[in-house]
Every structure is written in structure tokens, then in C-alpha cells.
Structure 1
Amino acid sequence: MEILQNIPITIDRQVLFAQAHIRPESEDDRILSELIAAIEPGIRPKAIYQRAYIDGKDEQGVTIAGKRFTSAVLSVNLAQIERVFPFIATCGVEVEELTRPHTDLLHQYVLDLLKEQVLRAAIAHLLDCVRTRHAPGQIAIMNPGSLADWPLTEQRPLFALFGDVKRLIGVELTDSFLMSPVKSVSGIIFPTHASFENCQLCPREVCPNRRAPYNQTLAEEKYHLSM
């Protein structure tokens, strides 16, 4: 198990302010720049991952390090794979606590974008570590809750792989299987010879985070999903 805590992060204010449509040299620019400058030193993104091996497979799912994961899509993706990298990454409880007192709606929106930027930095660092330390080749990721085939309830066995995740990196699984801090993500990294994005199997038309178009042929022919 690897815990990643000293993750380098530099907030890109220009990107944040462009996303929030904040005019340069405006009063909002000044106030938010001062706010971010005060918050930035306390930001502590974190991630945890482990190298794990597949114990068993069938058409409905896989068993990884003794934990059962039920997903036909995951089973197809791991059909020829023996080694995977379960993970959890987070913006960190520190930035969550630092941003909580601010009630101005614009400030809340920008700080939410900031936490997303911090989370992306944590994920990028995690992926760099996996590539450098384990040389998996081309990789893809699946996340519980990203597809109907692999619902949020599958967070439970993933968290169970790591034990006390709250103590290790500050992330807690709620009764509804959401994570706290909210800007956290979990999943399984796996080697692949073909590119894969969860979005390819999701027919939802309106999604701001879509990374690839829906591929109905792929969904039906390779994964046997009927929408």
C-alpha cells in the first residue's frame, strides 16, 4: 500500500477566474486572489493506492485481493489482466475546512473549482507514481458509480481493501456511499491494450465532465449492455 501525501500543487488562478468569468483587475479578482493566497499554503491533497491481484473472475464480476466486485463491464475489462491498482484520491480535508466558512455564492463557486483543480493534481500525481513505480504500460480507469453496471454501492469493497481510509488520508464513506470530502474519487487503474473511458458506455446526453462520446456499438457488442 502506498500513501501519497506530499503532492505538489500550484493553483492556476487564471484558469479558475476564466472558468468563473471573473474580469481581470476587478474587485472580485482582488478579493478572490487574496482569499486563494491565504488558503493555498494549507492545501494538502492526498491519495492512496495498492498493487493488487485478481483472485477470481466470472461473467458478473471479479474478486480482487479477497474482495468481490460485481460488474460485467469490469469483468470484461479485466478478462486478460492479473494485476490492478485500486485507489482513492482527495483534495484533502484541510482545504475542505479552509473553504467551508465562506458563504458568498461566487466565492463558494470559485473555491469549488479550486478543490476540483486540487483533486485533478492529486490524480495526476497518483498516475505518475503508478507509471513510474510499476510500469503498467497503457492504462485505463473505472470508477464505482460512473456506470449503472458498477453502482456507488461498490465503494464499500473498494474502501475495504484499504482499511481505515479516514485515518490514512482523511476520506470517509457516508451511509449513501458518497465520499467526504466531496472532491474525492475512487477507482481501479488497470493495464489495457485498448483505450477505455467510462463515458463511452454512458448514454447520458448532458454531462459537463464527459471525456469521450457514447459508443453504442461498443456498449452492445463488447459489453453486452442494452440501453
Structure 2
Amino acid sequence: MGIILVDKLPFYLDEDMLIEKLKLRKRKGMNEKLNKLMKKALKIAKPKGAYFETEIESRTENSVKIKGEVFNSRELAKATEKNQKLYPYIITCGKEIEEALIKTEDILEKYILDGIINSILDCATICISKDLKERYQIANLSYHIPGALNDWPIEDQQKLFKIFGDVAEKIGVELSESNVMKPGKSVSGVYCQVMDDITECI
């Protein structure tokens, strides 16, 4: 099976949660702005994602090799000791909603819209992990992100995008030479099946 591409992930926005998260409850006029921006986001946002299953080709104490690329992480190697598969992924809020954020000049609206976009990305991530678990009959997953682990250099992000080929472009995600993703509200890494109970279980 090849790369699974989802070009419009479902999402929802919880007004009460956003009010609390963004600390808007006692500030006059902000709730109206929130409601307006939520409606705008629901209309234009198109979060997307891509993932696939791949065999681990080789492993050392400090690295894992998939699709001809060596990912240098002791923690990732340890996490995959009991299985032979990894699930690379790229998930994004979508360029449509980020363009709306860029065009917004009002500072308060930028703040609120940024919070809304974070919620959209959270929903998209949950959807992808759920779809992956159902598709491959996996009970629990852990996730690992280049640059987030102390021993996994962010430079390996380039290798991750390389194994996706042109799929990253198809979902509208670009990676700069300095390893910054665009849209900014995008995440990439690998999932692996959890064989034991660990804190990163999702």
C-alpha cells in the first residue's frame, strides 16, 4: 500500500474551550470576534495529512533506516526494538487558513485566529492517528518528531520529506533549507506501534 493522502480532514471548534484557552471570557467584544473568526475558519480551512506504513530496513543502537534513509536517534531506535514498522506522517492546517492569518492586520484577530488554527491542527492530528490505527489495526501509537527529541537532529526533517516525494507538495507543505515548514502550523514525524505502556501513547 502506498502513501495515504487525506486532502480535507474533518475538524470541529469548541467555542467554550477556545474562550478558556485564549482567556477571552471577561474581555468585552472578544467573544464576538471569536464567533466571527470561527465561522470564517469553518468555511475556508482545509487541513490535510499524509502517512504510510513502511518496514524498518535496519537498526543500530543509535539509528533506524527506512526507505533508504537513516534517521539518527537513539530514542527512536529504542522505541522500535519490538516492532519492524514505522509510519511517517505530515499533517498541516492547510495554506487556506494560514493565508487568512497572514492577511489579517488586526492584532487581536491575529491572536484569536492563531488559537483557532492550533485547534484545527490538533483535530487534524487526532484524525490522522485514528485513521492510521483503524487502517492498520493498531491499538496504541507513540509519536516521534525530528528536533523535538534531544537526540534526533532537526536536520533529519529533510530526509523525512524526501521519502514522501511530491506528496508533501500535494498537501501544500514546504520545507525550507533551515528546516522550517510552511504552513507554519504543520507537523511531521513518525508514528510507531506501542508494545508496552509509555507516556507518549495516543
> Shared topology, TM-score over 0.5?
yes
Which residue in the other structure is 2:65 paired with?
A: 63
For the 8 Å contact 2:174–2:183, the answer to whether it is kept is yes
> 2:150 maps to what in 1?
148
Question: What pairs with 1:18-29 in structure 2 (closer than 5 Å)?
Answer: 18-23=20-25, 26-29=28-31
CA distance in 1: counterparts of 2:198 and 2:60, whole angstroms:
20
SS of the aligned residue for 2:25 comes to coil
Query: C-alpha distance in 1, partners of 2:127/2:60?
Result: 33
Name the counterpart of 1:9: 11
What corresponds to 2:171 in structure 1? 169
Structure 1 match to 2:43: 41
User: What SS does structure 1 have at the residue aligned with 2:37?
Assistant: helix
Q: 1:52 aligns with which of 34, 50, 54?
A: 54
* Contact 1:11–1:114 (Cα < 8 Å) also in 2: yes
Alpha-carbon shift at residue 197 of structure 1 (Å): 4.7
Residue 221 of structure 1 corresponds to which residue in structure 2? Answer: none
Query: CA shift at 1:165, angstroms?
Result: 3.9
Q: Aligned-pair RMSD on alpha carbons?
A: 1.8
What residue number does 2:110 align with? 108
Counterpart code for 2:31: D
The residue that corresponds to 2:182 in the other structure is 180
Would you identify which runs of 4 or more consecutive aligned residues in structure 1 move more than 4 Å? Answer: none
Structure 2 distance, partners of 1:189, 1:21, is: 33
Report the AA paired with residue 115 of structure 1: I
Question: Any gaps of 5 or more consecutive residues in structure 2?
Answer: none
Counterparts of 1:24 and 1:13, CA distance in 2? 14
How far apart, in 2, do the equivalents of 1:16 and 1:89 lie?
Answer: 21
Residues 98-149 of structure 1 show CA distances to partners (whole Å, capped at 9, x for unaligned) of: 2212222222121111111011111111011111110123221111111220
8 Å Cα contact 2:82-2:195 kept in structure 1 = no
Residue 187 of structure 2 corresponds to residue 193 of structure 1:
no
1:129 aligns with 2:131: yes
Partner in structure 2 of residue 118 of structure 1: 120
C-alpha contact (below 8 Å) 1:70/1:150 kept by paired residues: yes
Q: Distance in 2 between matches of 1:113 and 1:13?
A: 11
Q: Contact 2:161–2:168 (CA<8 Å) still a contact in 1?
A: no
Change (3 A) 1:166 1:135: closer
Identical positions, percent: 30
Q: 1:22-62 CA distances to partner (integer Å, 9 max, x unpaired)?
A: 13793221133123312321110001001101111111201
* Displacement of 1:194: 2.2
| TM-score after normalising by structure 2 | 0.91
